[in-house]
Amino acid sequence: MVNRLDAPLKVTGRADYGTDRNFPGMAHGYVVVSTIAHGEIAAMDVTAASSSPGVLGVYTPFEPLPLRTPTSSVAGKIWVPLQDKEVSYYGQPIGFVVAESFEQARDAAMRIEVSYHRRPARTSLDEGLTTAEDAPPAMDGSPPSLSVLADGVESIEDAFAGSPVVVDATYRTATQNHAPMEPHSAVALWDSDGLTVYSGNQGAHLQAAEVADALEADPSSVRAVNPFVGGAFGGKGVTSTPAFLAAAAARALGRPVKAALSREQVFTATAGRAATVQRIALGADRDGTLIALLHDSTCSTSADRSFVEPTSHGTSREWYATQNLAISQKIVPLNLPPTTFMRAPGEAPGSFALESAIDELAVALRMDPIELRLRNNSAAPPGKDLQWSSKHLDECFRTGARRFGWQHRPPGERSDGDWLVGQGTATAMFPALRFPATVGITLHADDRAEVATSGADPGTGLLTVLSLVGAESLDIPQELITPRLGDSALPPGGMSGGSTATASAGSAVVVAAAEVTDALLELAAAPGSPFEGMEVVYEAGRLLAGDRSMTFGELLRAVGRSSISATGSSTPGEELTKHSFSSFGAQFCEVRVHKWTREARVSRMTGVFDAGRIINEQTARSQLAGGMIWGVSAALHEGLEIEPDGRFANGDFAGYLLPVNADIPDVDVQFVQYPDTLQNSLGARGVGEIGIVGMAAAVANAVYNATGIRVRNIPIMLEDLLQQ
């Protein structure tokens, strides 16, 4: 296990995040947001704001900054503020004030008077269920509804009619926000070389391309820098409002501009997780074999229908072996802030519904919930011929049950003084993906090596992974590796999202190491080299031939070179036509519910995960523990409360409940390690998101085990547990 390389900088406050950058003559911007949920801006009186002390510019849809809508290679068209007068949700960015100081910009922004042509706003998912629309095709092209039926079965209804045991229930999950510690922000600086944007994001080269597109600037003149990111979770996958506005204002004013959302604005002027309503029906034989599975899911989405939370497609389509399967995905467009990718999009809320339903079926069958899951363990997604490349979910459950003491779990209520104690479990799965990535390796004459890519490390430990994989691939000590990332000037390293960074960038490191080694060997045998005409091999950082041995640094110095470089690229390939890929896990949770107050507290958690080879157990365990904690947060704490007019009643850190240390016990995280070299040369699969998957269901299942009350909505509230 290796400590994070960036840990000393972060814990001592020496890590420079985006808005930690300051430049001479820097101005400050403040974003103005709407105070209605739906309508059109009729007028914006900026007279008082423009004449306020220190104000340098006031920008609105009536006097906008020169920007256009860019297209992201990951998320399609990206919304850019101030392009029109339409208002689609409360808290939408509609103006930007730039002044000499932050306080001057903020105070001037408060003096802008806005009038609207109001329109009725749709803000309730429940009210919109009767008019829900079919979702657009999924990112992989899958239709919103699909089914797999056994031979001779005419419909999913017939499959249920032939099932001896059926459970059928509806589950609900709340709207959430990423709530990163670092608000969305940017510092933009134009100079003779072009534009540099310092901003936390999940892929520097992606942000540079999006900003260049929005500004209609030469892509080679735009650089994005993000060596440190204070939390992202999918919420910084595309360029933020402050980055677009700061870049455009800096160009207009001819001076650097810093802009950051306030904490309250983070909850509206960004995007979050959709609310969902999910009906799941399970039909089974009396021995627990699944006969039919129905998963009809509906999620909220923004008025422009730009994102779908793929709950049914992300879980029930793949998790269990079943003879008959029918899933559907519908959307309800609402006048609420946009939705987007958020840690395990689809899988996190979808697993709450599916894994709660599986627990309900286990109760109906009077069967151990683990036995039911393993009895229906899939060798491949239903209806697909591509088997899992590597799957050890059964070992995850056996290991977890032993560590957790599942064999001592009582079938019903158990008391400990005034507390009711229950235990629950759930399956976790998350697809093992890769993005195209390129990494550059430079060997230096001082015997050090640099491993560089533009990708981001939003707390995942990628910087440390680059050093470990680089050291292994070059066969030199890790302390001789200098990893670099978070700069679009470096080779494009893909996006730090979808739990892909290690597999994507790490695979590229292996290719780059081979390329730079080949170049080194060619240089060693070249005319004038110390090894001229000899058969040279590379081993442990040294060039060897006959009885001669030199480090690569010694060779470079001997031929008058300061360095030698090469790049390597890796991209998903033909393996996708041969296997299905996923990471797997087993979640265990113990919950205590107070007999009289009905307060619910998690007292123990264990997670055992099959994610291929683990490159660095310390950072991987941290990622998984963080995800499990987020699952507890979703189950017991986290959810935005939406007023009928579209306002968030708890859109700040005071009202938006998140667990603190007192809410979380020690988290037990274990691995079963089987390198999956069918997926990538490292054998590693993602761990960033699977930790959250299934945990909310494990909590809810434990609550049922403790109280006999089945709660089918999260977060679970005190009033949900008052029924007797």
Task: Tell me whether residue 216 is one of the annotated catalytic residues.
Answer: no
Residue 242 half-sphere exposure toward CB, CA atoms < 13 A: 29
Residue of 37, 100, 89, 31 lying closest to 60 (CA atoms): 31
Q: Which has the closest alpha carbon to 96: 47, 159, 54, 33?
A: 33
Cβ neighbourhood burial of 15 (10 Å; 0-12, 13-18, 19+): middle
Instruction: Give the bridge partners for 684, in sequence order.
Output: 612
Beta pairing partners, 257: 27, 188
Considering the candidates 360, 643, 689, 719, report the single residue annotated as catalytic: 689
Q: How far is CA 287 from CA 153, 290, 364, 373, 401, in A?
A: 21, 9, 11, 12, 21
Q: 454: closest CA among 196, 226, 197?
A: 226
Report d(CA 354, CA 294) in Å as an integer.
Answer: 10
Crossing angle for the helix pair 241-253 and 204-215, to the nearest 10 degrees? 50
HSE, side-chain direction, 13 A CA sphere, residue 705? 28
CA torsion angle for 527, 532, 536, 542 (degrees, to 10)?
-90
Start-to-end Cα distance in the chain: 49
Cα dihedral across residues 647, 649, 650, 652: positive or negative: positive
Distance from C-alpha of 298 to C-alpha of 316, rounded to nearest angstrom: 14
What value does the CA radius of gyration of the chain take, rounded to a whole number of Å? 27
Cα separation of 417 and 420, whole Å?
8
Handedness of CA 58, 61, 63, 65 (dihedral sign): positive
∠ CA 543-1-693, rounded to 5°: 125
Is the separation of the CB atoms in 611 and 582 below 8 Å?
no
Contact 434, 614 (CB under 8 A): no
> At residue 12, what is the residue type?
T
Active-site residue list: 689
